[in-house]
A = this chain, B = another copy of it.
Amino acid sequence: MANSKLTIKDIAKLAEVSSSTVSRVIDDNPRISDETKKHVSEIINKYGYKPQSAARSLARNRTNSVGIVIPHNDINIYSSSFFHEALKGICSTLAKQGYDVLISAGNPTELDAIKRLVSTSRIDGIILLRSTVNDMNVEYMYDNGFPFILIGTCLEHEDVYCVDNDNFKASFDLTDHIYKCGKKRIALIGGSGDSVFIIKRLNGYHKCLEQHNIPIDSELVKLGQSSEAYGYDTMRELLNNITPPDAVIVMDETTCVGVMKAINDSCLKIPEQVAVACFNEGAFTNYSKPAITTISLDFYELGARAATNLLMLLGGNKVKKGCCFVNYNLSIRESTRANSKVNYNNLKKERDE
Contacts and interface: CB of A to CB of B under 8 A. Distances in A.
Contacts of A118: 1, 4
Contacts of A63: 53-54
Interface stretch (A92-100, A179-187, A328-336): A92-100
Interface in A96-143: 96, 100-103, 105-107, 113, 116-122
Interface in A67-95: 68, 70, 78-79, 81, 83-84, 87-88, 91-95
Contact of A58 (B54, B91, B107): B54
Interface string A222-255: 0000001000000000000000000000000110
Contacts of A287: 228, 257, 261
A55 interface: yes
A70 B91 contact: yes
A101 B100 contact: no
Interface string A36-74: 000000000000101111110110000101001010000
Contacts of A119: 3-4, 48, 50
Contacts of A116: 50
B53 A122 contact: yes
Which secondary structure characterizes the binding site on chain A? helix
Contacts of A53: 54, 63, 120-122
Nearest to A79: B283
A70 B101 CA distance: 12
Given A102-B102, A257-B283, A52 B121 contact: yes
Nearest to A287: B257
A94 B120 contact: no
A254 B283 contact: yes
B105 A88 contact: yes
B106 A94 contact: yes
Contacts of A120: 50-53
A81 B284 CA distance: 15
Given A4-B121, A58-B54, A261-B287, A103 B106 contact: no
Interface in A127-186: 144-146
B87 A121 contact: no
| Most chain B CB within a 10 A radius of its CB, from A51, A103, A118 | A103
A122 B106 contact: no
Nearest to A51: B120
Nearest to A94: B106
Nearest to A81: B78
- Which residue among A65, A83, A100 has the maximum number of chain B CB atoms within 10 Å of its CB? A100
Given A91-B103, A94-B106, A102-B103, 17 more contacts: A50-B116, A52-B121, A53-B120, A53-B121, A53-B122, A54-B63, A58-B58, A65-B102, A68-B103, A70-B87, A70-B91, A91-B106, A92-B105, A93-B106, A100-B102, A228-B287, A253-B283
28 contacts: A1-B118, A1-B144, A3-B119, A4-B121, A51-B120, A52-B120, A52-B121, A53-B120, A54-B54, A54-B57, A54-B121, A55-B58, A70-B91, A78-B81, A78-B84, A79-B283, A83-B84, A92-B106, A94-B106, A96-B106, A100-B102, A100-B103, A101-B102, A101-B103, A101-B105, A228-B287, A257-B287, A261-B287
